[in-house]
């Protein structure tokens, strides 16, 4: 016979709830040490809890109860990461407002968690879709854009959008360096490092044949191979493309630009894929030896990485080798030790064919050559040591309904202004149709669902001036970026 677990569990769950046994008071005895133990809060899906949820939750619950018994002030809260696509998709299919679906799912999750006896302080429960919560998401956004972001052209050629980008790249170095002291799994730290993707090298200026002012700036991790640069490649979106293209190449270039705009970054940089590219007719000058080298465009170069242009060294870079072989561009050996008849040589070796006038790095190994030529570039004022990051700025706009509205208004000249704190939260308007607005013209700016909101929401008058609101919404990350702070406020 089993012990009467059902009776016991119901009895104590009711007792804990009635007595608010796990409440963390705002006014605490500060002489005691504190312990904040937190679960990654769940997305309340329609499927309810799965067995993976209670695994982490039980672990933190054991710690929370143990620490309380050890005399700590414990904070152990729970909440819901509740914006997101599934509820919006369901709304589009059925017309049910996402808020209703979300509330239903949250109610089920909450009930399931309570049946497991977790010692959460339910008085501190948060829901990212609650206006009382996203008031602060909007407030933080305003703080973040205060000098920390720009509203600019997002480099998607096909859809020239004006979207919010957050300048996370300005924090790349700190995000990398500060991982060091964290007590985190090494594999997770490594994933963060890879995502940030720091690399050291040099930024080098190439002048363009026939132009005085414009320079093509490249970042390379291998400045030692500069003498081996036999061509350059611009990303299709590079601002100088039209300028360097000669009239007889215009048609071909424009055709290529159109095709590239239809591909995703992933498709473009797939290593397996056949390299494509077109010669612009223009030439750059290799600053190491003053030789004219052809300028191509190719979609394997992304405008969002580095400077959006590369110096191509087919002798010592696998992708450049493939490209040069295909288009019969000269392949020059500047580091000995490989067999360039067969493949690019990317290893260390002794520099050759790398001297011009009174400057030479011949006879050095790769690290020595990097140091020497970087110094030379700096002295000549045509380059400098540079750290580059793979991390991109964060595209923060979504053409969706079920997200936080931006606390931003625009005047008729599309100048943007943040809402006053007293106007927060800005809530979502009621809608009948949650779909993005269908458009006849595929090249026009896409119209987010909020562009169809009632006029009374879309427009706002302040001191006699009519402004319109931002129609994009924030990504789901916005609410989950800071919820751990909400519990402590």
Partner 1 sequence: MPVDLYVGGAEHSVLHLLYARFWHKVLYDIGVVSTEEPFSKLVHQGMILGEMEYQLYYDKETNLPISADDVDSNTNIQISTGREVSSKILIEDDIEKFDDIFVLKNNNKIRIDARSYKMSKSRGNVINPDDIVTNYGADSLRLYEMFMGPLRDMKSWSNKGVEGVHRFLNRVWRLAVDEETDQLVSEVKDIEPTYDQLHILHKTIKKVTEDIENLQFNTAIAAMMIFVNEATNWKDRPKSVMNPFILLLFPFAPHIAEELWTRLGNSGNPIYHAWPTYSDKYLQVNEITWVIQINGKIREKINASPDIAKEEVEKIALSTGKIPDLLSGKTIRKIIVVPKKLVNIVAN
Identify residues 191-230 at the interface with partner 1 (CB under 8 A). 191-192, 195-196
From the list 402, 408, 403, the residue with the least C-alpha distance to 149 is 408
What is the closest distance, in whole angstroms, from the C-beta atom of residue 25 to partner 1 in the complex? Answer: 12
Residue 158 CB, shortest distance to partner 1, in Å, is 24
User: What's the DSSP call for residue 225?
Assistant: G
Q: Give the number of other CB atoms < 10 A from CB of residue 336.
A: 12
Q: Does 163 bind partner 1 (CB under 8 A)?
A: no
Note whether 31 binds partner 1 by CB under 8 A. no
**Contact code string over 356-385 relative to partner 1, x by CB under 8 A:** ------------------------------
**Residues 6+ away with beta carbon under 8 Å from 17:** 114, 122
CA nearest 38: which of 105, 102, 124?
A: 124
SS3 state at 395: strand
Query: Bridge partners of 386?
Result: 201
What torsion do the CA atoms of 109, 112, 117, 122 make, to the nearest 10 degrees? 30
Name the β-bridge partners of 73: 34
> Would you count residue 60 as binding partner 1 (CB under 8 A)?
yes
Say if residue 230 is exposed, middle or buried (CB neighbours under 10 Å; 0-12, 13-18, 19+).
Answer: buried
DSSP 112-165: HHHTTT----GGG-EETTSHHHHHHHHHHHHHHHHHHEEEEE-S-TTS--EEEE
Scan residues 391-410 and list those touching partner 1 (CB under 8 A).
Answer: 394
Residue 144 found at the interface with partner 1 (CB under 8 A): yes
Nearer to partner 1, 150 or 258 (CB): 150
For the CB of residue 139, give the shortest distance to partner 1 in the complex, in Å: 10
Query: Is 460 near partner 1 (CB under 8 A)?
Result: no
Pick from 364, 359, 315, 366: nearest CA to 341: 315
Binding flag, residue 463, partner 1 (CB under 8 A): no
Q: Return the residue of 18, 26, 29, 69 that touches partner 1, per CB under 8 A.
A: 69
Residue 152 neighbours by CB under 8 Å, 6+ apart: 162, 165
Q: Does 71 bind partner 1 (CB under 8 A)?
A: yes
Strand order from edge to edge, sheet including 465-469 = 416-418, 408-410, 465-469, 459-462
266 binding partner 1? (CB under 8 A): no
Outline where DSSP puts E strands in 260-370: 278-285, 292-297, 309-312, 355-356, 359-360
Q: Is 183 among the residues that bind partner 1 (CB under 8 A)?
A: yes
Q: Is 140 in the site for partner 1 (CB under 8 A)?
A: yes
Neighbouring C-beta atoms of residue 80, cutoff 10 Å? 24
| Mode of pairing for the β-strands spanning 231-234 and 292-297 | parallel
85 binds partner 1 (CB under 8 A): no
Q: Which of 175, 216, 229, 332 binds partner 1 (CB under 8 A)?
A: 175
When binding is defined by CB under 8 A, the residue of 122, 157, 171, 305 that contacts partner 1 is: 171
**Residue 53 interacts with partner 1 (CB under 8 A)?**
yes
Q: Which region, judged by CB under 8 A, interacts with partner 1, from 49-57, 198-206, 276-284, 348-356? A: 49-57
CA 147 to chain centre: 18
CB of 255 to partner 1, least distance (A): 36
What kind and span of H or E run contains 196? helix 186-196
Residue from 52, 247, 442, 464 binding partner 1 (CB under 8 A): 52
Measured from the Cβ of residue 257, the count of other Cβ atoms closer than 10 Å reads 18
Q: Which stretch binds partner 1 (CB under 8 A): 50-58, 260-268, 358-366, 437-445?
A: 50-58
Sketch the per residue contact string, 292 through 331, with partner 1: x for CB under 8 A, - otherwise: ----------------------------------------
Instruction: Select from 184-192, 301-309, 320-328, 342-350 the region that touches partner 1 (CB under 8 A).
Output: 184-192
From 126, 168, 204, 324, residue interacting with partner 1 (rule: CB under 8 A): 168
Query: Least Å distance between CB 342 and partner 1?
Result: 32
| Least gap, CB of 107 to partner 1 (angstroms) | 14
Q: Which of 62, 107, 259, 387 binds partner 1 (CB under 8 A)?
A: 62
111 within 8 A of 17, measured Cβ to Cβ: no
Q: Which is nearer to partner 1, 68 or 437 (CB)?
A: 68
Does the protein bind partner 1 through residue 457 (CB under 8 A)? no
Binding to partner 1 by residue 117, rule CB under 8 A? yes
* 56 part of the interface to partner 1, by CB under 8 A: yes
Residue 461, beta-bridge partner list: 466
Beta carbons within 10 angstroms of residue 425's beta carbon: 19
Q: Which of these segments, 167-175, 243-251, 264-272, 451-459, binds partner 1 (CB under 8 A)?
A: 167-175
Is residue 455 a contact point for partner 1 (CB under 8 A)? no
Helix (H/G/I), strand (E/B), else coil: 312 = strand
Total chain residues near partner 1 (CB under 8 A): 78
* Residue of 45, 119, 276, 353 that binds partner 1 (CB under 8 A): 119
């Amino acid at each position: 016979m089993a012990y009467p677990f059902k009776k016991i569990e119901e009895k104590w769950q009711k007792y804990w709830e009635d007595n608010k046994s796990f409440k963390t008071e705002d006014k605490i005895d500060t002489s005691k040490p504190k312990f904040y133990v937190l679960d990654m809060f769940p997305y309340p899906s329609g499927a309810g809890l799965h067995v993976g949820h209670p695994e982490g939750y039980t672990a933190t619950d054991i710690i929370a109860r143990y620490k309380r018994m050890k005399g700590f002030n414990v904070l152990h809260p729970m909440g819901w990461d509740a914006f997101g696509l599934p509820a919006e998709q369901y709304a589009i299919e059925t017309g049910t407002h996402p808020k209703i679906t979300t509330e239903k799912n949250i109610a089920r999750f909450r009930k399931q968690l309570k049946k497991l006896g977790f010692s959460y302080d339910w008085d501190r429960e948060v829901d990212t879709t609650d206006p009382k919560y996203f008031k602060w998401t909007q407030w933080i956004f305003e703080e973040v854009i205060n000098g920390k972001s720009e509203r600019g052209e997002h480099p998607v050629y096909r859809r020239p959008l004006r979207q919010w980008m957050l300048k996370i790249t300005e924090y790349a170095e700190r995000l990398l360096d500060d991982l060091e002291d964290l007590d985190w799994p090494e594999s997770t730290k490594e994933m963060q490092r890879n995502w940030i993707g720091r690399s050291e090298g040099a930024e080098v200026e190439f002048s363009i044949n026939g132009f005085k002012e414009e320079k093509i700036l490249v970042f390379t991790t291998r400045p030692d191979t500069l003498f081996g640069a036999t061509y350059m490649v611009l990303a299709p979106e590079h601002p100088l493309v039209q300028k360097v293209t000669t009239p007889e190449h215009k048609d071909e270039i424009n055709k290529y630009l159109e095709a590239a705009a239809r591909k995703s970054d992933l498709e473009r940089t797939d290593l397996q894929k056949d390299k494509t590219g077109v010669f612009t007719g223009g030439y750059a000058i290799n600053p190491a030896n003053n030789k004219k080298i052809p300028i191509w465009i190719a979609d394997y170069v992304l405008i969002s990485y580095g400077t959006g242009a590369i110096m191509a060294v087919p002798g010592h870079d696998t992708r450049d080798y493939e490209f040069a072989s295909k288009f019969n561009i000269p392949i020059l050996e500047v580091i000995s030790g490989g067999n360039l008849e067969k493949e690019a040589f990317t290893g260390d070796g002794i520099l050759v064919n790398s001297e011009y006038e009174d400057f030479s790095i011949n006879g050095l190994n790769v690290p020595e050559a990097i140091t020497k030529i970087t110094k030379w570039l700096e002295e000549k004022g045509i380059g400098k040591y540079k750290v580059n990051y793979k991390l991109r700025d964060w595209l923060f706009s979504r053409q969706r309904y079920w997200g936080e509205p931006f606390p931003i208004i625009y005047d008729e000249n599309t100048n943007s202004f943040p809402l006053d704190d007293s106007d927060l939260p800005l809530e979502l308007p009621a809608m009948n149709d949650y779909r993005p607005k269908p458009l006849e013209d595929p090249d026009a700016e896409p119209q987010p669902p909020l562009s169809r909101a009632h006029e009374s929401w879309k427009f706002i008058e302040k001191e006699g001036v009519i402004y319109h609101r931002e129609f994009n919404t924030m990504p789901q990350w916005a609410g989950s970026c800071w919820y751990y702070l909400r519990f402590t406020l």
